[in-house]
Amino acid sequence: MGDAEGISVGDVESLLLNGPVDSIDQINGVFESMGQVVMASQDMLAGLNVGDFVSVGGSVVSPGWLYADAVTVSPIRYVPGSTDIFVRGMLSSIDLVNGTAEMGGLTIDYTPSLGSSSAPYAPIWSFAGTRPTKQGVMISDRSGIR
């Protein structure tokens, strides 16, 4: 569960996100992707455009906040509901009854992954799948601690 089509980060353990850039705030040194705020250097931000499909390597700061050591722009064109995405981070909340988890501003439906893994139970969790609409719920068919 590390690399998405055509994207890789040298150390899979540091892979935090494969997804589209939703907004860029150069003044505050962050960009947003899949409900996560990613702190990045000015050089990294200068190479990004809204809509780019990126791979982020780094560390988890808090729920919904990531620190980027590396950001790679992929030639992949993001298509909601079709392009595989990935996010790892600190969970904000888990709803075991409805099979959803919150990670920052992202809601994840993890019920499709229950056949191959367990419900999220650790503070840091990974989800891979698709997001049928640009700002909608992520449908995760693979999840785990890594």
In the chain, the domains with their CATH numbers are: 12-74 (2.40.50.320), 85-144 (2.40.50.320)
When pLDDT is cut at 50, 70 and 90, the band that residue 100 belongs to is very high
pLDDT of residue 61: 95
Nearest to 89 by CA among 68, 65, 108, 105: 65
Strand bridging mode 30-33 / 100-103: unpaired
Positive or negative, the CA dihedral 73, 75, 78, 83 is: negative
User: What does pTM read for this prediction?
Assistant: 0.85
Separation CA 45–CA 146 (nearest Å)? 27
Contacts of 86 (CB under 8 A, 6+ apart): 1, 2, 4, 15, 17, 18, 19, 126, 127, 128
Average pLDDT for 96-125: 84
Q: Which residues contact 97 (CB under 8 A, 6 or more apart)?
A: none
Per-residue pLDDT tens for 16-63? Answer: 999 999 999 999 999 999 999 999 999 999 999 999 999 999 999 999
